[in-house]
Amino acid sequence: MRAFVYQSPDSFREAMNGYGQQSAFIAGGTTLVDLMKLEVMTPSQLIDINQTPARGIELGPEYLKLGALEKMSDVAEHVDVKTHFPVVSQALLKSASAQLRNMASIGGNILQRTRCGYFRDVATPCNKRQPGSGCSAIEGNHRMHAILGTSNSCIATHPSDLAVALVALDASLKLQGSDGERLLKLDEFYLLPGETPNLENQLKPGELITEIQVPRLDLAQRSLYLKIRDRESYEFALTSAAVAVALDGETVRDARVAVGGVGTKPWKLPQVAQALIGKRLDRETIEASSNMAAEGAHPLKQNGFKVELVKRTVARALMNLGGLV
Amino acid sequence: MPNGDQIIPDSLEEKKTNQVHGSSRRQFLGRLAAISAGLTVGSQVARGAPAKELTDAGPPQARAGSSSVDLLLKINGRTEKLRVDPRVTLLDTLRDKLHLTGTKKGCDRGACGACTVHIDGRRVVSCLTLAVTANGKEIKTIEGLANGDELHPVQSAFIACDGFQCGFCTPGQIMSAVGCIEEGHTTSDTEIREFMSGNLCRCGAYPNIVDAIRTAAPQVGGKI
């Protein structure tokens, strides 16, 4: 690991004032320390933000407000999150391991870096790690990689489960910069790789995620997260689906669908959700809507299976939700 | 090589103080570490590091040019005052500085759980915890679990149920199991397996590990 200077300020202002070009903020450290050991990330200054006040889990009349420093395990096990936003709790509990969930902050989870093996291996070209060096995955091993939102520069998958659930529920981030606060929809926060896969989100240098706001929609109460992976636990998604449905009797009044493991960012599927609205939540409706889940996909040699798998993942998630299986 | 950097001063010190060349495993490993540290130094020569750095047995942070940090760690009820390079993990601090070698280094990447300890009562992996970020916190390792000579019920259950073969993952399994029980995730074998999935066992002792946790849980107020 490269040498760095360590600081532990206790206010946002102090944290931001100390931030320079070679700085990195550290919260749980589960991604950053790993990548620093691999020398994928080589900050010369670490600013520990754990003493800053980005805490709290609070259910208000309009929003669930989650402090960015709250641990994955605490959010997952919180009674209000479990009751009113089961998809958020389930996505968290299907992430990582119990130990890592006790360490990792939810703000850091949103910012976690891709698991692409070439990004993590400094001996190979990677446009995300070293702009302009090329993408090793396109011609290399890409079974785990994305089929949606890819470019000729990068096909790396966004690894967060939590972010898929939050994007489905139209969550926003509260960002604190030296020039004040701003709110941004999580879906807009993430950038597609295009020609600049090194730019992953709209966070400005020195800016901090301080809070996540999840709108308190009644459909969130009937929601779930389904994750399909190579082994049953402690593994990243091949495909995943976050679904939420509000019913009027047997008719779908409102719906939200997003998928993970397939996109270069958490992938929202408004067309699938739209195809459910106004219909009975039955097998036929679900099959017709979930068939649109891979629209626009660009599969490569090894990850073509994800096209069919993501459709079936969405279908299975909706059938679980409707009590059809 | 972060481990090499960390091993150099400690293992040299260990070599100096170990005047009796007995046959204990720890002394043998200590000497082995000194030899591998020597190899690390050799590779630095190959990379052209200045000779001054090589002969300086001072703290690694001085040689690396980064600032070291003063720490207070409360480990198994004892307060330890330390000065560490901020790069050093809690795992390396426990093993190399404090010689608490019960906590094992498996993958060193947060993937295997062998280094599981408790910080402020919660199970975490010490390999992805920088020691500086644990400043002022209560740390419990496998060495602090028993009550004197009386084993913790989870330790006894691992023995009674034969919850290990080679034993390398066992301290991490036990620390994780204690956390799993305290969190209330022992209501079924399926739940135990899910909430213990962060601890790998290459020998495949999983069925017996689950038996041990199921057996110990009611003895320490866990949910069944």
Taking contacts as CB-CB distances below 8 angstroms, the residues of chain A near B92 are none
Q: Which amino acid is it at A280?
A: R
B22 exposure class (CB count in 10 Å sphere: 0-12, 13-18, 19+): exposed
Which range, of A40-44, A274-278, B58-62, averages the lowest pLDDT? B58-62
Predicted confidence band at B11 (pLDDT cuts at 50, 70, 90)?
very low
How far is A186 from A192, CA to CA, in rounded Å? 13
Q: What is the CATH number of domain A219-321?
A: 3.30.390.50
Q: Is A25 left (phi over 0), alpha (psi -120 to 50) or beta?
A: beta
Nearest to A98 among B69, B135, B198 (CB): B198
Buried b (16+ CB within 10 A) or exposed e, A69-106: bbbbbbbbbbeebeebbbbbbbbbbbbbbbbbbbbbbb
Which whole number is the average pLDDT over A212-220? 97
In tens, the pLDDT along B163-206 reads 999 999 999 999 999 999 999 999 999 999 999 999 999 999 99
- pLDDT for residue B16 is more than 50: no
Instruction: Note whether B109 contacts A37, CB cutoff 8 Å.
Output: yes
**pLDDT number for residue B222:** 87
In angstroms, what separates the C-alpha of B5 from chain A's closest C-alpha?
10
Nearest CB to B2 within list A37, A48, A99: A37
Per the DSSP assignment, residues forming a β-bridge with A228 are: A239
Statement: residue B160 has pLDDT above 70:
yes
Residue to test with chain B: of A22, A34, A102, most B Cβ within 10 A: A102
Residue B27: pLDDT band with limits 50, 70, 90: low
Task: Give the span between the Cα atoms of B111 and B200, in whole angstroms.
Answer: 8
* B67-144 is classed CATH 3.10.20.30: yes
Q: Say whether B122 and A46 touch across the interface (CB within 8 A).
A: no
CA distance B176 to B191: 14
Q: Are A54 and A107 in contact (CB under 8 A)?
A: yes
pLDDT, residue B25, reads: 57
Say if CB A49 and CB A26 are below 8 A apart. Answer: yes
d(CA A203, CA A186): 11
What's the gap in Å between the CA of B200 and the closest CA on chain A? 10
Residues of chain B neighbouring A33 (CB-CB closer than 8 A) = 89, 128-130
Nearest CA in chain B to A101: B124
**Is B86 exposed, middle or buried, given 0-12, 13-18 or 19+ CB atoms closer than 10 A?**
buried
DSSP for B172-196, please give it. HHHHHHHHHHHTT--SSHHHHHHHT
CB B129 within 8 A of CB B75: no
Return phi, psi of residue A305, to 5°: -60, -20
Give CA–CA dist A220/B153, Å, rounded: 42
- pLDDT score of B108 more than 60: yes
Of A6, A29, A234, the CB nearest to B198: A234
Q: Tell me if B67 and A6 make a contact (CB, 8 A cut-off).
A: yes
Q: Is the ipTM of this complex over 0.90?
A: yes
pLDDT in tens, A298-321: 999 999 999 999 999 999 999 999
Compare all CA atoms of chain B with the CA of A49 and give the residue at the minimum distance: B133
* Domain limits, chain A: 5-48, 219-321
Whether domain A5-48 has CATH 3.30.43.10: the reply is yes
**pTM value?**
0.89
Per-residue pLDDT tens digits for B41-81: 333 333 333 333 333 333 333 334 458 999 999 999 999 99
Select from B84, B93, B128 the residue whose CB has the most chain A CBs within 10 Å, as the one to mutate to test that interface: B128
Closest by Cα among B137, B88, B96 to B117 = B137
Q: How confident is the model at residue B19 (pLDDT cuts 50, 70, 90)?
A: very low
- Nearest alpha carbon to residue A206 among A242, A236, A177, A170: A177
Of A3, A96, A100, which has the smallest distance from its Cβ to B65's Cβ?
A: A3
Type of residue found at A8: S
d(CA A48, CA B130): 11
Q: Give the distance from residue B1's alpha carbon to the nearest chain A alpha carbon, in angstroms.
A: 7
A139 within 8 A of A88, measured Cβ to Cβ: no
User: How close does chain A come to B66, measured CA to CA in Å?
Assistant: 6
Tell whether B223 is within 8 A of chain A (Cβ).
Answer: no
Q: Does B6 score more than 50 pLDDT?
A: no
Q: Which of the four pLDDT bands, split at 50, 70 and 90, describes residue B15?
A: very low
**Alpha carbon A103 to its chain's center:** 17
Q: Are A148 and A262 in contact (CB under 8 A)?
A: yes
Q: Where in chain B is the domain with CATH 1.10.150.120?
A: 153-220
In a mutagenesis test of the A interface, which of B90, B124, B206 is the best target, namely the one with the most A β-carbons within 10 Å? Answer: B124
Query: What CATH code would you report for B153-220?
Result: 1.10.150.120
- Contact between chains at A233 and B183 (C-beta distance less than 8 A): no
Structure confidence at residue B80 (pLDDT): 97
Q: What residues in B contact A99, CB-CB < 8 Å?
A: 110, 113, 116, 123-125, 176, 179, 198
Q: What secondary structure letter does DSSP report for A224? A: E
Mean pLDDT throughout A149-156? 98
Contacts of residue A55, defined as CB under 8 A and 6 or more positions apart, other chains included, come to A67, A69, A70
Are A98 and B179 an interchain contact pair (Cβ–Cβ within 8 Å)? yes
pLDDT band at B8 (very low <50, low <70, confident <90, very high): very low
CB contact under 8 A, A33 and B89: yes
pLDDT digits (tens, 9 = 90+) for A85-111: 999 999 999 999 999 999 999 999 999
